[in-house]
Amino acid sequence: MLHGKKILLIISGGIAAYKALELIRLFKKSGATVRCVLTNGGAQFVTPMSVAALSEEQVFTDLFSLKDESEMGHIRLSREADLVLVAPASANILAQMAHGLAEDLASTTLLATNSPVMVCPAMNPMMWNHAATQDNLKILEKRGIHIIAPDVGEMACGETGQGRLPEPENILMAITNFIQKDKPLSGYRALVTSGPTHEPIDPVRFIGNRSSGKQGHAIASALAAKGAAVTLISGPVNIPPPKGVETISVQTAQEMLAACENNLPADITVCAAAVSDWRVDGCAGQKIKKSANKTPPTFQLTENPDILKTISNHKNRPALVVGFAAETENLIDNAKSKLIKKSCDWIIANNVGDNEIFGADNNLVTLVTAHETTEWPQASKETIARDITDKIVKYMIHIKSQKKAA
Ligand code: CTP
C-alpha cells in the first residue's frame, strides 16, 4: 500500500507517543521507509532505542543533532520524505509550526520541508479547545497542512473530551488515502530506458549518438508522479536523475538490456533510449595509435541486442510496452512497421531529421498504435511525458476493468 514511500515521522511529547511505536510498525508492514525525529518531549515518553529498533533506521534527536547534521542535514531529511507526519502533535509543536519557530530539530525540519505535512494532534481536551490552539490550527489548515482531528474519549489524565490520538490503524488508513489520491499508477511497476548508449572502440573512444535523455527522464518522472514505482535505466547523460525514481546508470546496449531484464517483471515499459544499433567487434584493450603508415583503422561492427523487441517477447512481458521511433524520413510508415517488427503496443514516432529534437526542450510526436495514428501538438518534453503518462493511466485502468469483468 505504501510500498517505496518515505515517511518522516516527528514524535512530539505526550502520553500518546507510545502509539507512535505501533504506527511505525504498521508503516513498515505496508512497505514504507520510516525515519523518525524524536523531540525532547517525545523522548520523555518513548526511547530513541525502541524507535530505532522498530523503524530499523537511525533516530534523529536534538541530542545527536550535531553529529547527524554532518551525516544528513535537516534540510535533506525534510526534503527526501514523501510525507512528513507529526504524530502525536503536541499543542506546543502546533504553535511552533503556526508561528514559524525553529527552536529544535523537529521545528526546524518542519520549517525547511517542501513535502506535504500531516499532523495528528493529541492533547488534553481543554488544551485542544483553547482559542490559541484552535487559532493555530486554522493558520496551519490555511497553509495546506493536513490535520487528522483527535478522537473523543477518555484521556490518560482522567478527563473526557476531544484530544485522543486516533488509533494507529485509522491514521495509517488516512495516510494511505492521502498518498494514493491522484496516484492512479500506485501499485504498478514501470521500467523506462533513456539516453544514448556508448559502445567502446578503445578505452578512450566510443560510438554514441545525440540523445540527451530529456524525454526518457521526463517520462520516468511523470510516471512516478502518478504513483508508479519507476526504475530508470539510463545511458550516459548530463542531466540529473529524476526525483522519486530508482535510476540505474549503464554505458552500453548490452548493459542496458541486462539491467532491464534484471528489473522485470514490470507492468509498464517505455523504451525511450537511443540504443546504438551496433558495437565494435572486439574493443581494443589499449588506445589505438595512429599507425606508422597512416592507414586509418577499420572496425568490424556487430549488431546489438534489440532491447524493446526482447522485452516485447519476454516471458515476463509487461502489460504495456511502448517504444519510440526516431526517423529522418517516412515517419508514419516506419513507425507502423516498427510497431509490428518489435511486437510492442505503441510507438511514439518523432522526426529527428532537422536536428532540432536531440537535446531540445520541445518535441513533436505522433502516437502510432494498432488502432490509431495521432499527431500531437508540439509541446515541451515534460508536457509530452505527462500526455503519454495520462494515456498509460487510461490504458492500465482499461486493462484492469477488463480483467475484473473476465
Ligand atoms: N531500441 C532498443 N534496442 C535497440 C535499438 C532500438 O530498445 N538495439 C528501441 C528504442 O529505444 C526505441 C525503438 O527501439 O524505442 C526504436 O529505435 P530506433 O532507433 O528508432 O529504431 P531501430 O530499431 O534502431 O531501427 P532503425 O535504426 O533501423 O530505424
Question: Domain ends where: 180, 207, 224?
Answer: 180
Q: How far apart are CA 43 and CA 11, in angstroms?
A: 8
Q: Which atom of ligand 1 is nearest to the CA of 341?
A: 23
Residue nearest atom 24 of ligand 1, based on CA coordinates:
277
Domain finish residue from 144, 160, 180: 180
pTM above 0.75, yes or no: no
pLDDT of residue 65: 61
Please indicate, yes or no, whether residues 41 and 73 belong to a single structural domain of this protein.
yes
* Residue 88 preceded by cis peptide, ω within 30: yes
Pocket flag, ligand 1, residue 278 (CB < 6 Å): no
Domain for residue 1, yes or no? no
Residues 173 and 197 in one domain: no
Tens digit of pLDDT for each residue in 152-196? 998 888 889 999 999 999 999 999 989 888 789 988 999 999 999
Question: Which residue minimizes the CA distance to atom 9 of ligand 1?
Answer: 308
Last residue of a domain, one of 133, 154, 180: 180
Number of domains in the chain: 2
Does the residue 172 lie in any domain?
A: yes
Is residue 207 situated within a structural domain?
yes
Q: Which of 36, 120, 157, 271 is catalytic?
A: 157
The average pLDDT across 57-69 equals 74
pLDDT (0 to 100) of residue 391: 97
Query: Would 201 be classed as within a structural domain?
Result: yes
Does one domain contain both 280 and 387? yes
Residue with cell 490559541: 132
CATH code where residue 102 lies: 3.40.50.1950
Same domain for 105 and 207? no
Does some domain include residue 38? yes
Check whether residue 256 and residue 176 sit in a common domain: no
In a domain, 25, yes or no: yes
- Looking at the structure, tell me whether residues 210 and 337 fall in a common domain: yes
Q: Do residues 221 and 344 share a domain?
A: yes
Say which residue, 12 or 328, is predicted with more confidence.
Answer: 12
In a domain, residue 88? The reply is yes
Average pLDDT over residues 338-357: 87
On whether both 136 and 22 belong to a single domain, the answer is yes
- Do 211 and 115 share a structural domain? no
Band of residue 231 on the pLDDT scale cut at 50, 70, 90 = very high
Residues 35 and 93 grouped into a single domain: yes
Report how far ligand 1's centroid is from the alpha carbon of 308 (Å): 7
| pLDDT number for residue 291 | 76
For residue 115, give its domain range.
Answer: 6-180
157 flagged as catalytic: yes
CATH number of 339's domain: 3.40.50.10300
Answer whether 306 contacts ligand 1 (Cβ < 6 A): yes
* Segment 23-48 mean pLDDT: 96
Average pLDDT over the chain, rounded to an integer: 93
Residue nearest to atom 16 of ligand 1 (CA): 325
215, 233, 311, 324: which to mutate for ligand 1, most atoms within 8 A of CB? 324
30 located within any domain: yes
Q: Which of 63, 339, 6 is nearest to 179 (CA)?
A: 6
Mark whether 175 and 254 lie in a shared domain: no
Question: 3-state SS of the chain?
Answer: CCCCCEEEEEECCCCCHHHHHHHHHHHHHCCCEEEEEECCCHHHCCCHHHHHHHHCCCEEECCCHHHHHHHCCHHHHHHCCCEEEEEEECHHHHHHHHHCCCCCHHHHHHHHCCCCEEEEECCCHHHHHCHHHHHHHHHHHHCCCEECCCEEEECCCCCEEEEECCCHHHHHHHHHHHHHCCCCCCCCEEEEEECECCEEEECCEEECCCCCCHHHHHHHHHHHHCCCEEEEEECCCCCCCCCCCEEEECCCHHHHHHHHHHCCCCCEEEECCECCCEEECCCCCCCCCCCCCCCCCCCCEEECCCHHHHHHCCCCCCCEEEEEEEECCCHHHHHHHHHHHCCCCEEEEEECCCCCCCCCCEECEEEEECCCEEECCCEEHHHHHHHHHHHHHHHHHHHHHHHHHC
Task: Answer yes or no: do 64 and 202 share one domain.
Answer: no
Q: Which residue, among 396, 338, 404, has the nearest Cα to 367 in the 3D structure?
A: 338
Atom of ligand 1 lying closest to residue 276 CA = 8
Gyration radius of the chain over CA positions: 27
